[in-house]
Amino acid sequence: MHERIDPKDCIFCKIVRGEAPGHVVCEDERTLAFMDIFPVAEGHVLVIPKAHCTNLLDADPTDLEAVIVRARTIARAIRDALAPDGIGTFQLNGAAAGQTVFHYHLHLIPRQSGEKLEIHGRKPGRAERLAELAAQLSSAVAAEEAAGAVS
Interior angle at CA 129, CA 127 and CA 133, nearest 5: 115
The one catalytic residue in 23, 44, 105, 107 is: 105
DSSP-based three-state secondary structure for 37 = coil
CB 53 within 8 A of CB 63: yes
DSSP 64-127: HHHHHHHHHHHHHHHHHHH--SEEEEE---SGGGT--SSS--EEEEEE-TTPPP-SS-SSPPPH
| 105 is a catalytic site residue | yes
2 vs 8: CA distance, rounded Å:
18
Show which residues are catalytic: 105
